[in-house]
Chains A and B, each alone.
Chain A
């Protein structure tokens, strides 16, 4: 039952691990930026007066939130391929991530928008602000500020979930781990190293979001305090 750990034999692979980690971060950043845009648009769509648009956005959010990410990946990746659209793997992986994180973002942003008191919007209307102005200054900015902690938490989770894209052979950190372990036959050590890398990246990302939050919301108020 004695097992000799051999991390030394993994040393030669560190450039690969680094490449994989950078790719994971790259995919996460792209997915979060586009996911935020989709999420905000979708949340606005659900509040809007057009019934069909609200239903459509609601269906999108519910479908994504109630099916596994892995199934979404297979559906989009193999589905598009069978329809004749062959995307490069990186693009396909990022596309599934955007599709996934967009719905979660929409739900979080919607929850933030719901905390805006109707009186605020009425007041803005009374002051003669245009609809885009109301959405940007009165609804969106305060609500984004309020849900910023949940949003950044969701983005960190997305970084972790991106490991699943290794199943369509995306060469991100987990994909790299799979090829390293099949070359070095040191599967246990490989996945321990990768677990530590992911943990470090998650901490780093959390810290980066914290700093970013302080920069863009200088007047950070505590959650739940009246605006």
Chain B
């Protein structure tokens, strides 16, 4: 059976070129970058070379890159770091984010609220866009941090981070963005968009899992999450994951080099998918028609449930995911889909297809053959055929 992986926003295959550069660091060049001897110094050189590469791709200086365990840690470090800095001065503060952030941001915010911080969750419009005016209105004299994600992980909507960061900076407030989904898909230049903090994950860009980075603009004070041996200039203690970091930097370098030709190719495949799906009755595309990740297509198929759709597709070798968290740990419909104004019964019927480097024209043709059949089969089982009133 044909296997079609369409879940690249969940994770992606490690590129063979990335695996190749990582391998020596497991069993040959395995030194600890803090060791004084030759093997340690060799590891340290690899670490600093990787840092240079990452900095170059994100358009900052190496000193501004802190390697972490990935997106969740980077986001936690940004929020808690800013909050801890404030707490150290004996004060609480106000944080602004949006209603469509990743759970690692929303749950961090809720925890900070339990410590006495206040959080404003900015609403989004039907496309998933935050309005600059709403940000402007939400900032108070007590605001310590604004964080708005660059591209949404479910519906793929891309925010105008440059404009939002500018508004925060006019009021002398730090600005963070979660760029986990956008890096290598669209240009991410920290100077051009003017952010103070930015999170990146390796496994979303054909790099290994368990590694990523936080960009911290020079002069920005955020306290560390992890205290210990003073690694990463004291911001992130713990022996550096050299194979992971080397792999991450290679994945980022490849992703950035290939972006100008690879993303237009993927975008064409994605558009073909959207066009093909749009002929299915009682279905629609979620997110913004233009301002969206080139890899992302996100649909609702009324009268069926997303988890069933994903599992039936999986039985046909097509690997996708649902916005409806029914598939995983919670049964609540996606907070993102509710935030863009979908009623819960429709939010349960969502399907996310995210493309990547390995997808071909044949994959799309196969998906466009199988998906309508699966939708028809599940609608046959459903008590609802044309409305929820039956």
Co-complex (A, B): no
Q: Which residues does B use to contact A, with CB under 8 Å?
A: none
Q: Which residues does A use to contact B, with CB under 8 Å?
A: none
